[in-house]
Amino acid sequence: MPKRVLPLTDAEVRAAKPGLKKYQMYDGKGLYLDVDPCGGKWWRLKYRFAGKEKRISLGVHPDVGLKDARERREACRKQIANGIDPSANRKAVNSARADRAENSFEVIAREWLGKFIDPLSASHRKRVYARFQNDVFPRIGRRPIAEITPPELLSMLRRVEDRDADDTAHRILGSCGQVFRYGISTGRCERDISHDLHGALNPLVENHFAAATEPAQIAEILRVLDGYKGTSIVQSALRLAPLVFVRPGELRTAKWVDVNLDDAE
């Protein structure tokens, strides 16, 4: 008759000392403790699947105690009974986790930021990055982009609205929509869920700035512009602006090729 293996005790496991060679302490049903000459102790399970003898690691002692090791052994035995190879199943789970991490919202968002936001002005780039880093990534950054739901996205935006930053919430929603569309184009999600939140955010209050139409009002504005004592570049821009009626950004980036003095009246 084969010699019966007595179950291990916590005291025996803790007291196991390294020897000149690796040795095993058996607990039963395939579970044993590998004791390394350097002092390491690994729980392992020996089992047969599809006619082949195989082994799988169940953790390191003392991080995994005797009770936990036995529970992991029983979980593996149930998988084997259901026709599942524990080792192959672990590899599949780890592979799925890696895919989820590679396709997280933050990974894809940072790709989009690098391609479409980094080339823009430093001030705009700083604002967009701040919105993602402060509000988006802490809430949904680690989630696989294809698994994020509209309520999940809305919950993140509600936190922004709760601090009376409705305009920021709308801007974040727009940026997230661009990330989702980038994810669609790169084959990592199937739809832009930001469309489902149309009308869900607090409406923005429009502020109408009255235009100066009376001659006296316009004269006062011109006197203020003429009295500006800042840098010469800004002084020149303020004096030129009323003559050309363009937006500040257009005036700031204008080049000499844009000016045609020959056709001036």
Structural contact between residues 46 and 86, judged by C-beta atoms closer than 8 angstroms: no
| 177 C-beta neighbours (distance < 10 Å), count | 16
Q: What average pLDDT does range 31-39 have in this prediction?
A: 93
Task: Give the separation between CA 81 and CA 8, rounded to whole angstroms.
Answer: 24
Q: Please check the confidence at residue 261 and state whether its pLDDT lies above 80.
A: no
The last residue of one of the domains, among 86, 119, 151, is 86
Give the pLDDT of residue 239: 82
Q: Let me know if residue 92 belongs to a domain.
A: no
Residue numbers of the domain that contains 232:
215-255
Residues 149 and 191 grouped into a single domain: yes
Q: Let me know if residue 154 belongs to a domain.
A: yes
Q: Let me know if residue 244 belongs to a domain.
A: yes
Number of structural domains found in the chain: 3
99-125 residue pLDDT tens: 777 899 999 999 999 999 999 888 899
Q: Let me know if residue 260 belongs to a domain.
A: no
Structural contact between residues 69 and 53, judged by C-beta atoms closer than 8 angstroms: no
Report in angstroms the alpha-carbon separations of 201 from 54, 65, 128, 163. Answer: 56, 50, 19, 13
Task: Give the separation between CA 174 and CA 168, rounded to whole angstroms.
Answer: 10
Best-predicted range by mean pLDDT (90-104, 118-132, 207-221): 118-132
Give the pLDDT of residue 2: 47
Q: Please check the confidence at residue 46 and state whether its pLDDT lies above 50.
A: yes
Q: How confident is the model at residue 252 (pLDDT cuts 50, 70, 90)?
A: confident
Against a cut of 0.85, is the pTM above it? no
Residues 24 and 55 grouped into a single domain: yes
The CATH number of residue 152's host domain is 1.10.150.130
Q: Which residues of 135-171 are buried (b: 16+ CB within 10 A; e: fewer)?
A: bbbebbeebbbbebeeeebbebbeebeeeebbebbbe
Mean pLDDT for all residues in the chain: 88
Across 16-20, 89-93, 181-185, 260-264, least confident range: 260-264
Q: Which residue has the higher pLDDT, 240 or 164?
A: 164
Give the pLDDT of residue 137: 96
Q: Please check the confidence at residue 265 and state whether its pLDDT lies above 90.
A: no
Q: How confident is the model at residue 187 (pLDDT cuts 50, 70, 90)?
A: very high
